[in-house]
């Protein structure tokens, strides 16, 4: 294999390309000159340009291959090495291309004598429009630097192609985009719901007019000015009074600020300008590198940081184009469906909630922070649709169908009509629930059931008032920790907890202490890879082994409560001893604050989650020590049935409405009643009407659920006669059935219970 001499870099070549553009001559002649110049500069025998036309990659120009093959050789996307580069939008450098399994021999080109191949995609707005290839006879190992040079050239070439400098008008139109046909794409539902609206791109496409610099010092100073103005802008946003989002958005902005001063990033931008690119093209080039790196990284935290950097590059482009501050959030249509590759929670909060109807992400998982925020806002989100942005034009009509994890872009009238119908049914239902907001949650036979909401972000607070819930039955404090790049300080925590309690007023808020570990990974805590993280070092186990974090949190809670009643609950308690140790930590913090004459809660109610089955068999020993218990049915299901709650294959295998879970819960209810201790259930099942019916029937009188479940559950219980249901259930607990769902549905039907 032959090592190559160091590459001369793109500067000379960019100058040469500029000269070619200034030459008279037809577009064909220009393109021929371009490939000749690239071949010479890259010390390659072959340089070819393939462009996507009618869904095929057509050879448009070549230096070195048989000229007869031009406009004849065509490859499908995915076919051969060139097709592979286009399909994956990534470079390929091969010393022995012909022995690569993807190699597709095209006899008309005469390429059999060339062994090595370096190809890069020609991309515009993330859309692949062609492929640029160089080839050598010898088995050559292309260097990283050569790949980068060819990528820079490809970027410049793509702009020239798209702007018509290298092609005739007809070809430009053909290459520019495939016909806008309707399409449907599957993803994952990250937040449920249904929306119809028009596409808005979160990152507005900025088309750069010029990629090669006329005057390098001028470009440098333009870049510097844009960086300075971007920094100012970020500072201004940081200083602006932060109305209702405190923590989350500040932290993202702080990250931007840090990157805006990152010398590595700024250095790369300068090197790119030095090589002969305009400031805009330099930003695009460095952004392209970031995106490549992002594709290879699986660590969610690093990916998120790279996404931040990518976002910052977009902001810099806006500053260069003089369009800074005008984000897609401005001039938002009334029915916007937002498309983004990835997105931070704070960015989502930039948009007017009343106009934003749906969100589509190329990446994203249901535990991603933006998904958590979107759920709190009630915006349907479909994630995991790779490459979708390139196929959507702003203004396209889009249907987001959270029920089936799919989207329709430019759908036909029949599809739209069908979805409009189910949308109006859904809206009518929501309006009905809103109208029933002030109806008391009383069953037909007069039993009062406390309906509480689950929360975890400040934006959830609005739901308390919207739903008229009795309080917050589960405040997942870890969400505040998860949406931040750094650990929130005691002060910041205190401020958040105080706001939550102030907002709730007389309504109780049950703060659950940090429940991290398992799938909830804090970016700033060292990771300990575990085979079974759900059953590993998580929640209270971490807190007891490394109490520093918990102490800070307890102190913040105690101080934030001042003269109020504070409800604290510990997660994942598996045995009474763990509760005692956690409680001791709390008592010590109380004593410490009192000794320091610091404010402390007027009264403290301490409880535990019941989500590990072992604890149920210690209830007689536990109950005298606690003020309340809350069943976490999500984890309880996974531990009772030994089924991973995050494994989609296990999702429907066992039913919460099984005789085993229901009789287990009945035992818990009986124990708590006999000790006169309040019992709540705060897992997802409490928010599903049929499940909630069964829970109330077996004796629960407090349920905490996602806010959007309050309406349907209240409607159910107002149509329910508890005594009759309790009697009905008596006969079912010991049945050998897999599930009691069918019987309960039948009961609801026959007794007019609205589920």
> How far is 172 from 500, CA to CA, in rounded Å?
57
> How far is 40 from 48, CA to CA, in rounded Å?
12
Closer residue to ligand PEP, CB minimum distance, 79 or 684? 684
The reply on whether position 611 binds ligand PEP by CB under 6 A is yes
Q: Give DSSP secondary structure letters for 166-223.
A: SS-HHHHHHHH------EEEE-EEEE--EEEEEEEESS-----S--B-S-HHHHHHHH
The reply on whether position 375 binds ligand PEP by CB under 6 A is no
The reply on whether position 460 binds ligand PEP by CB under 6 A is no
The reply on whether position 635 binds ligand PEP by CB under 6 A is yes
> How far is 389 from 343, CA to CA, in rounded Å?
13
From the list ligand PEP, Mg ion, none, partner contacted by residue 211 (C-beta under 5 to 8 A by kind):
none
Burial label for 602, CB within 10 Å (0-12, 13-18, 19+), is exposed
Residue nearest to Mg ion (CB): 635
Cα–Cα separations (whole angstroms), residue 679 to 169, 207, 572, 630, 721:
72, 59, 16, 6, 21
Closer residue to Mg ion, CB minimum distance, 494 or 638? 638
The residue range among 12-20, 316-324, 633-641, 648-656 that interacts with ligand PEP, by the rule CB under 6 A, is: 633-641
Which of these, 502, 530, 520, 624, lies nearest to 572 by C-alpha position? Answer: 520
Q: Choose which of 285, 341, 369, 476 interacts with ligand PEP (CB under 6 A).
A: 476
The reply on whether position 533 binds Mg ion by CB under 5 A is no
Q: Which residues pair with 348 in a beta bridge?
A: none
> How far is 724 from 726, CA to CA, in rounded Å?
5
Residue 682 is among the residues annotated as catalytic for this protein: yes
From the list Mg ion, ligand PEP, none, partner contacted by residue 468 (C-beta under 5 to 8 A by kind):
none
Q: Residue 604 in 3-state DSSP? A: strand
Q: Residue 704 in 3-state DSSP? A: strand
The reply on whether position 280 binds ligand PEP by CB under 6 A is no
The reply on whether position 683 binds ligand PEP by CB under 6 A is yes
The residue range among 230-238, 422-430, 431-439, 627-635 that interacts with ligand PEP, by the rule CB under 6 A, is: 627-635
Closer residue to Mg ion, CB minimum distance, 111 or 635? 635
What is the smallest separation between the CB atom of 474 and ligand PEP, expressed in angstroms?
6
From the list Mg ion, ligand PEP, none, partner contacted by residue 633 (C-beta under 5 to 8 A by kind):
ligand PEP
The reply on whether position 396 binds ligand PEP by CB under 6 A is no
Q: Choose which of 171, 401, 635, 721 interacts with Mg ion (CB under 5 A).
A: 635
Residue 369 is among the residues annotated as catalytic for this protein: yes
What is the smallest separation between the CB atom of 634 and ligand PEP, expressed in angstroms?
3
Segment 598 to 617, residues that bind Mg ion, using CB under 5 A: 611
Which of these, 520, 606, 524, lies nearest to 557 by C-alpha position? Answer: 606
Helix, strand counts (H, E) of the chain: 27, 24
From the list ligand PEP, Mg ion, none, partner contacted by residue 476 (C-beta under 5 to 8 A by kind):
ligand PEP
The reply on whether position 632 binds Mg ion by CB under 5 A is yes
Please give the span between the terminal C-alpha atoms of the chain, in angstroms, as a whole number.
Answer: 71
Q: Residue 582 in 3-state DSSP? A: helix
Closer residue to ligand PEP, CB minimum distance, 33 or 645? 645
- For the chain, state the CA radius of gyration: 31
The reply on whether position 656 binds ligand PEP by CB under 6 A is no
Q: Give DSSP secondary structure letters for 76-120.
A: ETTSHHHHHHHHHT--EEESSGGGSTT----GGGTGGG--EEEEE
The reply on whether position 384 binds ligand PEP by CB under 6 A is no
Catalytic residue among 369, 463, 567, 672: 369
Q: Choose which of 632, 687, 697, 711 interacts with ligand PEP (CB under 6 A).
A: 632
CB atoms within 10 A of CB 558: 24
The residue range among 125-133, 213-221, 626-634, 652-660 that interacts with Mg ion, by the rule CB under 5 A, is: 626-634
Which tokens go with 514? 């940090």
Closer residue to Mg ion, CB minimum distance, 16 or 476? 476
Closer residue to ligand PEP, CB minimum distance, 128 or 682? 682
From the list Mg ion, ligand PEP, none, partner contacted by residue 683 (C-beta under 5 to 8 A by kind):
ligand PEP
Q: Tokens 């040469």, residue?
A: 16
Residues that bind ligand PEP (CB under 6 A): 474, 476, 515, 611, 632-635, 682-683
Residues that bind Mg ion (CB under 5 A): 611, 632, 635
Residues designated as active site: 369, 682
């Amino acid at each position: 294999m032959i090592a190559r001499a160091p590459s001369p870099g793109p500067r000379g070549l960019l100058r040469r390309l500029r000269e070619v553009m200034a030459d008279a001559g037809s577009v064909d002649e220009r393109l021929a000159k371009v490939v000749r110049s690239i071949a010479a500069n890259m010390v390659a025998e072959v340089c070819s340009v393939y462009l996507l036309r009618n869904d095929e990659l057509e050879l448009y120009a070549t230096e070195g291959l048989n000229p007869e093959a031009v406009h004849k050789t065509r490859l499908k996307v995915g076919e051969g090495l060139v097709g592979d580069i286009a399909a994956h939008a990534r470079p390929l450098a091969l010393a022995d291309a012909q022995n690569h399994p993807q190699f597709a021999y095209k006899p008309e080109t005469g390429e059999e004598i060339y062994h090595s191949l370096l190809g890069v995609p020609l991309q515009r707005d993330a859309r692949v429009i062609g492929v640029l290839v160089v080839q050598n006879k010898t088995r050559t190992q292309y260097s990283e630097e050569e790949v980068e040079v060819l990528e820079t050239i490809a970027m410049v070439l793509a702009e020239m192609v798209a702007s018509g400098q290298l092609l005739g008008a007809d070809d430009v139109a053909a290459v520019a985009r495939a016909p806008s046909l309707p399409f449907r794409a599957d993803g994952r539902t990250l937040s449920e719901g249904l929306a119809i609206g028009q596409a808005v791109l979160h990152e507005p496409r900025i088309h750069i007019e010029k990629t090669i610099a006329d005057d390098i010092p001028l470009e440098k100073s333009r870049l510097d000015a844009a960086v300075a103005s971007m920094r100012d802008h970020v500072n201004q946003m940081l200083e602006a009074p932060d109305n209702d989002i405190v923590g989350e958005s500040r932290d993202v902005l702080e990250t931007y600020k840090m990157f805006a001063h990152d010398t590595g990033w700024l250095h790369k931008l300068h090197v790119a300008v030095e090589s002969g690119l305009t400031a805009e093209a330099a930003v695009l080039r460095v952004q392209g590198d970031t995106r490549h790196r992002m594709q290879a990284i699986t660590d969610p935290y690093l990916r998120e940081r790279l996404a931040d950097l990518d976002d910052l590059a977009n902001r810099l482009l806006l500053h260069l184009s003089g369009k800074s501050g005008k984000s897609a959030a401005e001039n938002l249509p009334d029915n916007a469906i937002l498309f983004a590759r990835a997105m931070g929670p704070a960015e989502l909060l930039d948009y007017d909630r009343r106009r934003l109807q749906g969100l589509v992400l190329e990446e994203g998982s249901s535990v991603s922070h933006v998904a958590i925020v979107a759920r709190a806002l009630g915006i349907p989100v479909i994630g995991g649709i790779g490459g979708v942005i390139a196929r959507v034009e702003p203004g396209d009509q889009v249907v987001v169908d959270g029920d089936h994890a799919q989207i329709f872009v430019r759908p036909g009238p029949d599809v739209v009509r069908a979805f409009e119908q189910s949308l109006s049914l859904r809206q009518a239902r929501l309006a009905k629930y809103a109208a029933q907001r002030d109806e008391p949650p009383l069953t037909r036979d007069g039993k009062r059931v406390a309906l509480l909401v689950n929360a975890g972000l400040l934006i959830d607070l609005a739901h308390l008032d919207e739903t008229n819930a009795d309080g917050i039955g589960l405040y997942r404090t870890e969400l505040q920790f998860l949406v931040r790049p750094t650990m929130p300080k005691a002060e910041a925590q205190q401020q958040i907890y105080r706001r939550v309690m102030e907002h709730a007023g007389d309504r109780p808020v049950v703060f659950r202490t940090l429940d991290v570990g398992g799938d909830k990974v804090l970016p700033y805590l060292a990771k300990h890879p575990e085979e079974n993280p759900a059953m590993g070092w998580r929640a209270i186990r971490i807190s007891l082994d490394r109490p520093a974090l918990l102490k800070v949190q307890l102190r913040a809670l105690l101080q934030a409560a001042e003269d109020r009643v504070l409800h604290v609950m510990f997660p994942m308690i598996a045995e009474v001893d763990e509760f005692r140790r956690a409680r001791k930590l709390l008592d010590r913090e109380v004593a410490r604050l009192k000794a320091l004459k610091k404010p402390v809660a007027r009264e403290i109610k301490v409880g535990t989650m019941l989500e590990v089955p072992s604890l149920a068999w210690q209830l007689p020993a536990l109950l005298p020590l606690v003020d309340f218990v809350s069943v976490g049915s999500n984890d309880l299901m996974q531990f009772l049935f030994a089924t991973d709650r995050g494994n989609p294959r296990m999702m429907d295998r066992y039913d919460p409405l099984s005789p085993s879970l229901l009789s287990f819960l009945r035992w818990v209810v009986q124990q708590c009643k006999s000790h006169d201790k309040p019992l709540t259930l705060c897992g997802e099942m409490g928010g599903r009407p049929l499940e909630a019916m069964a829970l109330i029937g077996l004796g629960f009188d407090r349920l905490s659920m996602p806010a959007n479940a309050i309406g349907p559950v209240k409607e159910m219980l107002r149509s329910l006669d508890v005594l009759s249901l309790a009697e009905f259930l008596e006969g079912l607990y010991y049945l050998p059935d897999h599930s009691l769902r069918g019987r309960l549905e039948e009961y609801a039907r026959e007794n007019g219970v609205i589920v």
